[in-house]
């Protein structure tokens, strides 16, 4: 019942990547959903070992009105475990098919891929991350490069099992947008195996909603 509810919430939100832990524990399934001005993303994955997770990515791109279906690999390149902090470097890559609904019948499908790195550092009070992504395809409109960074602070330090709250600011660099650089203040709430983020892009005046569940 708990898992069904989680799945329903995720599908309703139909979202992307929340700049947080794209790997779970070995044998652990996860669901991630990111939604912002550019895209709706869903990633359903399974962590096979301490460094690798595989799964299915569904991405709807608003700019090109296209849908990407692909197999994604999240790989932990390195992790630094310190007594009071942790830092991670991930590689996230996906290959699949782009469905361009605006194209003529017979020409709507073409192969596509994306890859990028995610780096983060956090302790129980502060959070910093950087993520980039390159999209590769024959379609020039679909190809792009994006990058973003985040700064976060926890207004209180929470113990395991209680509600964790983070106040964050996300900075995006998306060369294809009118506002190349945008800023999104957001709130991250963490409880048990659930992470929810809600924010508002003040330049594009659009909401951001992210969800992550580690089952």
Partner 1 sequence: MFKQILTIALLSTAIITPVFAADKTPVVKPVLTKTIHIGVNGMVCDFCAQSLKKVFGKQKGVETVAISLEKKLITLTVAPDTKLDDATITKLVTDSGYAVEKISRL
Point out which residues bind partner 1 (CB under 8 A): 20-21, 23-26, 28, 49-50, 76, 79-86, 122-124, 157-161, 164, 190-193, 195, 214
Cα separation of 64 and 80, whole Å? Answer: 39
In angstroms, the Cα distances linking 74 to 43, 99, 138, 197 are 11, 23, 24, 21
Closest distance of CB 149 from partner 1, Å: 19
Q: From the CB of 7, what's the least distance to partner 1, in Å? A: 18
The token pair at 128 is 């910093």
Nearer to partner 1, 84 or 140 (CB): 84
Q: Which residues contact 120 (CB under 8 A, 6 or more apart)?
A: 19, 20, 87, 88, 127, 128, 129, 130
169 in Cβ contact with 183 (< 8 Å): yes
Q: Which is nearer to partner 1, 26 or 175 (CB)?
A: 26
If the CB atoms of residues 50 and 185 are measured against partner 1, the closer one turns out to be: 50
CB of 117 to partner 1, least distance (A): 18
Residue 80 forms beta bridges with which residues? 87
Q: How far is the CB of 59 from partner 1 (least distance, A)?
A: 23
Provide, rounded to whole angstroms, the least separation between the CB of residue 190 and partner 1.
Answer: 5
| Cβ nearer to partner 1, comparing 49 with 138 | 49
User: Is residue 95 within 8 Å of 70, Cβ to Cβ?
Assistant: yes
In the numeric block, the tokens 């962590």 are attached to 47
Nearer to partner 1, 48 or 97 (CB): 48
């Amino acid at each position: 019942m708990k898992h069904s509810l989680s799945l329903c919430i995720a599908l309703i939100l139909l979202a992307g990547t929340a700049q947080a832990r794209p790997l779970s524990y070995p044998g652990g399934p996860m669901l991630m959903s990111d939604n912002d001005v550019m895209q709706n993303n869903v990633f359903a994955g399974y962590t096979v070992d301490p460094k690798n997770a595989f799964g299915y990515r569904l991405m709807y791109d608003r700019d090109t009105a296209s849908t990407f279906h692909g197999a994604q690999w999240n790989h932990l390149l390195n992790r630094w475990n310190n007594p009071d902090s942790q830092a991670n470097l991930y590689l996230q890559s996906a290959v699949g098919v782009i469905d361009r609904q605006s194209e003529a019948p017979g020409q709507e499908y073409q192969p596509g891929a994306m890859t990028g790195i995610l780096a983060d550092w956090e302790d129980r009070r502060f959070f910093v991350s950087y993520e980039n992504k390159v999209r590769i395809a024959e379609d020039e409109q679909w190809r792009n490069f994006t990058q973003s960074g985040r700064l976060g602070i926890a207004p209180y330090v929470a113990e395991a099992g209680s509600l964790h709250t983070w106040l964050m600011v996300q900075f995006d660099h998306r060369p294809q947008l009118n506002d190349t650089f945008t800023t999104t203040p957001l709130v991250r709430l963490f409880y048990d195996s659930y992470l929810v983020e809600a924010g508002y892009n003040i330049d594009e005046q659009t909401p951001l909603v992210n969800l992550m569940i580690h089952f």
